[in-house]
Amino acid sequence: MKVNTLKPFFTNDFERLLFYQTNRFASDLSKSTNNVGFIGGGVVFDSSMQRFVLHGTTIASFFVEGGKTSIVVSDGKVSEGPLLQPASLEFNKLIEVDNTTVMAISGSAGFAILYARMLNNWIETMERIREEKLDTRSKVNMLSRILRENLSLALSGMLVIPILTTYDNKHGPRIFMLTLDGSVVPKKTYAISGSGKVNEGGLLSDWNVNMSKEDGIELAKKLVKNASKLDSATGGRIFIKIVSGNGIESVDGGWTND
């Protein structure tokens, strides 16, 4: 798509350009596919009679230190095919959108990365235009719009279900869970998603909001390790990020088989 550089470049021009590639892909997809779709975590067979989806991931975000800090965690396994063969065991599903925001991804890994880049580009462009930092609500609303605009891709099998963890000076750390249609669910305690959600009880049994950051890191490791025992599509390296007033800190979580 070409942008006319002979006239001023407005926000609407950028947003039209931002969504151009995914809109074009969705249009081409509807013409070229028939009952089959592929996702980063597996394969989708779709028909009028049944829908069979295989994918896997464990992502979670929860508050510690009395709600002053958030810990975000994911496994590193990306699988493909109906037998869930690992394509990678070291795929980082925790994406730093900016220096105060982490997007944890589940579902189609490729499209999740694309959406995170779209959000990052939009944030950087809007902050240059407005000459001020965007607030948390603006970032969440834009990610919601990206998911909503690409709902046709999600329904074709390329679904993305993210958890967005942010920090601002007014509210401190905040956790938002988004659905594939762009609905936003603010979380006051924790959020967990992916097929590893089967271990949600393991998080609830050991977590409390007043636990220390160090205990929270150990709980994050334990959460993914236990999820890997219950979910064959969870495994590999454990990625951990800490979101607080000090910015974003990355922690080596080791491996699920350590």
Tens of pLDDT, residue by residue over 126-165, are: 999 889 999 999 999 999 999 999 988 888 778 899 999 9
* pLDDT of amino acid 6: 43
> What residue ranges define each of the domains in the chain, with the CATH number in brackets?
35-255 (3.60.20.10)
State mean pLDDT over 42-65. 61
CA–CA distance from 42 to each of 108, 129, 154, 206, 225 (Å)?
8, 40, 14, 31, 21
pLDDT tens across 21-39, in order? 666 666 655 554 444 444 4
Q: Alpha-carbon distance 202 to 237, whole Å?
A: 19
If we measure between CA atoms, which residue out of 2, 93, 3 comes closest to residue 40? 93
Residue-wise pLDDT for 185-226, tens only, equals 999 999 999 877 888 888 888 999 999 999 999 999 999 999
What does pTM read for this prediction? 0.81
